[in-house]
Amino acid sequence: MEPYSNEVLWIVIVAFIISFILAFGIGANDVANSFATSIGSGVLTLKQACYLATVFEIAGAVLLGYKVSDTIRKGILDVTAYENAEKELMLGMLAALAGCAIWLLIATFLKLPVSTTHSIVGASVGFGLVARGADGIKWKEIITIALSWVISPLMAGIISVVIYMLFYRFILKAKNPFNAGLTALPIIWGVVVFVNVLSITLDGSKLLGMQYLDWWMSLCISVAVAIITIGCVHFFMVPWQRNKILEREPYNIDSKPKTVNTIESGIKESTLTVNTITTSTNSVAQMVKPDESEEKRVNLLFHFIQILAAIFSSFAHGGNDVANAIGPLITVFLIYTEGHVETKAETPIYLLIYGGLGIVVGLWFLGKRVIDTVGFNLTKITPATGVTIESGSAATVLMASKIGVPISTTHCKVGAVALVGWAYGKTAGEKTESVNWKLFSGIVGAWVITLPASGGIAAILMYLFEFLV
């Protein structure tokens, strides 16, 4: 096919439109997962989450999205089967975009946090079976991706539980949890920054010239930035956090609680009536409860940490899931500009930005529906558990993005929410079930039907395209 053929220009235009709609659906359904726990625990408002997502979803898409995009556009289908049939492949990618977008919008309307990765892979397989049958599918890649769907929620859940147990052992159950949390704050920031910088620089985007960095250079850069971060947090953020939290206390938390003898002495010297003395004694007793006060201070400290974790999660999501929106679009666009199916061109950075913008718009307009499901209805989320959920799921997604595996961010987040909710219930000694397993089973059911649903829609659309076009 000749490059820039007017015959297929309409396919390119429609693909751009549907791709934006799909990115919109991803933002409405999936980005909600990145910030649902932060909103559920009361750390962020929906508007604040949207502002943060606007920056970090696009940053993740640009800095990490290239690898997973390559897998979506070249790793699922055998594109060589469409040699001299470029228009058919373009129509197939259009069918995949539409099938995925339709199912995702349906799921969002039903408040179901489904996997967009499931959706786009299922849609790609659906049109591929209609166009070329089983021979046109790279089944080995499909099996690898499918295994990741099972492994990723377990991995995210296990990592999140390990982080939660570390927090529980060394901060929440420390002799002075608030001071322990302040001591750990620089370390937490340093680890998060190290992981993110390493993910950007190690085998980094060719678009930014980072492929020329050796592994030791990436490691040195990441360690240096982490050390600088730890120093800044220790000398500036820790004092600021301490003062900010202490200012919210109704009394000086550093002063020792009054002893019973001191209280009784004060009561004996008082000329107040017996009723007034009783009221005063109860009031003092309430003010000097150390456990309750410590819990409030630690929760306030975790508020700020959870914002960091949510940013980490949003960045990782942008790197992995922007591919779901623009992978097929990239195929259509590069066939149109180069004229053949076996293009080796890099993913254009402006298409990554385009997909990131669509994701952000979707969150702004429809993100609240799925946030309600994940952030409020599945389990009780505290600032401490929210941090562990965000961190564990983000770490899993980030690892997958670096090796180019399009895993489900929804699976990671829901798996982490369920397992951490269960662990929290055990450590808190709650007698009632800490996780809404009925809702969880319903979400898993939606995951199961996602692949055939999106695949079926894409197959029908591909059949219509071949019949009508």
Q: Average pLDDT for residues 283-303, to the nearest whole number?
A: 63
Q: For residue 220, give its domain range.
A: 6-468
**What is residue 259's DSSP assignment?**
P
| pLDDT (0 to 100) of residue 37 | 65
Q: Which of 82-96, 105-119, 385-399 has the highest mean pLDDT?
A: 82-96
Answer for the pair 95, 465: CB distance below 8 angstroms, yes or no.
yes
310-360 confidence digits (pLDDT tens): 788 788 778 777 877 888 898 899 899 988 877 666 778 888 889 888 888
| pLDDT (0 to 100) of residue 180 | 93
- The reply to whether 38 falls in a domain is yes
C-alpha torsion sign, points 178, 180, 182, 184: negative
Q: Average pLDDT for residues 235-246, to the nearest whole number?
A: 91
pLDDT at residue 286 greater than cutoff 60: no
User: Which segment of 260-274, 378-392, 407-421, 451-465 scores lowest on mean pLDDT?
Assistant: 260-274
As a whole number, the mean pLDDT across the chain is: 79
- The reply to whether 236 falls in a domain is yes
- The reply to whether 267 falls in a domain is yes
The residue with greater pLDDT, 53 or 163, is 163
The residue with greater pLDDT, 361 or 13, is 13
pLDDT at residue 12 greater than cutoff 80: yes
| pLDDT (0 to 100) of residue 377 | 59
The residue with greater pLDDT, 59 or 293, is 59
**What is residue 235's DSSP assignment?**
I
% of the chain residues with pLDDT over 90 = 22
The residue with greater pLDDT, 457 or 64, is 457
- The reply to whether 407 falls in a domain is yes
For the chain, the domain total comes to: 1
| pLDDT (0 to 100) of residue 267 | 38
Q: Average pLDDT for residues 243-271, to the nearest whole number?
A: 51
Q: Average pLDDT for residues 83-90, to the nearest whole number?
A: 89
Q: Angle CA(331)–CA(31)–CA(34) in degrees, nearest 5?
A: 130
| pLDDT (0 to 100) of residue 231 | 96
- Give the Å distances, CA to CA, from 335 to 63, 80, 330: 24, 13, 8
Q: Please report the DSSP string for 348-372 in residue order.
A: PHHHHHHHHHHHHHHHHHHTHHHHH
Residue 430: pLDDT band with limits 50, 70, 90: low
User: Which segment of 83-87, 149-153, 200-204, 344-348 scores lowest on mean pLDDT?
Assistant: 344-348
The amino acid at 80: T
CA-nearest of 184, 71, 159 to 117 is 71
Q: Average pLDDT for residues 418-436, to the nearest whole number?
A: 79
pLDDT at residue 39 greater than cutoff 90: no
| pLDDT (0 to 100) of residue 91 | 95
| pLDDT (0 to 100) of residue 126 | 93
Please name the helix (run of DSSP H) or strand (run of DSSP E) that holds residue 207, with its range, or none. none
Look at residue 435 and give its three-state secondary structure.
Answer: strand
Residue 284: pLDDT band with limits 50, 70, 90: very low
% of the chain residues with pLDDT over 70 = 81
| pLDDT (0 to 100) of residue 195 | 84
| pLDDT (0 to 100) of residue 68 | 64
Total Cβ atoms within 10 A of residue 6: 7
Dist CA 95 CA 124 (whole Å):
8
Q: Average pLDDT for residues 160-180, to the nearest whole number?
A: 91
The residue with greater pLDDT, 265 or 29, is 29
- The reply to whether 1 falls in a domain is no
CA-nearest of 23, 142, 128 to 85 is 128
